């Protein structure tokens, strides 16, 4: 049963520190999404990639957040510098694209706490 | 912009009763509507989806209905069980180059034993 994996699962850091979150999409999936989940905002789309190219990052604060896909098996989301308001669960999701294949499969998430 | 509204935000039912969650979307070009279930501390998991070329889809105790004219779709859970307790999210997407899902705000379902 192929699954999206994310590391780390939990991260506690201090304000101002850099945070890097990693995602390994399901093998063969060519679309990767980054979401942020908080109690107040639900599931927010931050950015997404197809075939490693960024398609939309309009949901992401550009001054401190950056997302990349160095290769087909790794997506990263960085926050620099981190702030307490960034505390949330960050989910990565991947999906196959082609025909009617819009289904997205979520990773377990990275729970981030910025003190 | 694109928007999906979901109601109710919380729902409490007695075990064995039915639960209905409703969503309305704004983008008339949307043609794919998945539902995700998220248990506490876990990832959202796809439980059922429907495409715009059908009006209803069933999978055991869950069903989804779609009314394209009114731009709304609903999740129906029959014979609810305590393990159905979770947050349910609806979403809408258009079958074009974006494949972006627009999520509703979630419904917290509590099934009382």
Concatenated DSSP letters of B35-60? EEEE-TTS--EEEEEEETT-SEEEET
B-chain CB neighbours of A104 within 8 Å are 34, 46, 101
The beta-carbon neighbor of B99 closest among A91, A95, A108 is A95
Q: CB-based contacts of A94: which residues, under 8 Å, 6+ apart? A: A4, A23, A25, A26, A29, A31, A32, A33, A104, A105, A107
- Indicate whether A65 pLDDT > 70: yes
Contact B44 A43 (CB under 8 A): yes
Could you tell me the pLDDT band of residue B95, with boundaries at 50, 70 and 90?
Answer: low
Picking from A3, A102, A107 by the largest number of B CB atoms within 10 A of its own CB, the best residue to mutate is A102
Closest CA to B109 of B73, B83, B90: B83
Strands (E), chain A: 5-7, 10-13, 19-24, 31-38, 42-50, 53-56, 65-71, 74-79, 88-95, 105-106, 110-114
Could you tell me the pLDDT band of residue A52, with boundaries at 50, 70 and 90?
Answer: confident
CA B80 vs. chain centroid, Å, equals 15
Kindly report the average pLDDT of chain A as a whole number: 90
- The mean pLDDT value for B66-88 works out to 96
Q: CB-based contacts of A98: which residues, under 8 Å, 6+ apart? A: none
Contact B101 A103 (CB under 8 A): no
Is the Cα dihedral B100, A94, B40, B78 positive or negative?
positive
């Amino acid at each position: 049963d192929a699954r999206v994996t994310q590391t780390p699962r939990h991260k506690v850091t201090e304000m101002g520190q850099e945070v890097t979150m990693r995602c390994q999409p399901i093998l063969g999936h060519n679309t990767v999404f980054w979401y942020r989940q908080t109690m107040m905002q639900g599931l927010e789309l931050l950015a997404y990639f197809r075939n490693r190219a960024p398609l939309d990052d309009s949901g992401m604060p550009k001054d401190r957040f950056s997302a990349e896909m160095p290769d087909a098996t790794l997506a990263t989301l960085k926050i620099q510098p981190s702030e307490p308001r960034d505390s949330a669960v960050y989910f990565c999701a991947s999906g196959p694209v082609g025909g009617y294949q819009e289904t997205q499969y979520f990773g377990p998430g990275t729970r981030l706490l910025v003190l | 912009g694109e928007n999906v509204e979901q109601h109710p935000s919380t729902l409490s039912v007695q075990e064995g009763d039915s639960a209905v969650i409703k969503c309305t979307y704004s983008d008339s070009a949307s043609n794919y509507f998945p539902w995700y279930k998220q248990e506490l501390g876990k990832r959202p998991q796809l439980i059922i989806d429907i495409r715009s070329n059908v009006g209803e889809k069933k999978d055991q105790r869950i069903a989804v209905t779609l009314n394209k004219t009114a731009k709304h779709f609903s999740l129906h859970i029959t014979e609810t069980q305590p393990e159905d307790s979770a947050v349910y999210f609806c979403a809408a997407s258009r079958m074009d180059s974006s494949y972006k899902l627009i999520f509703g705000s979630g419904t917290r379902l509590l099934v009382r034993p």
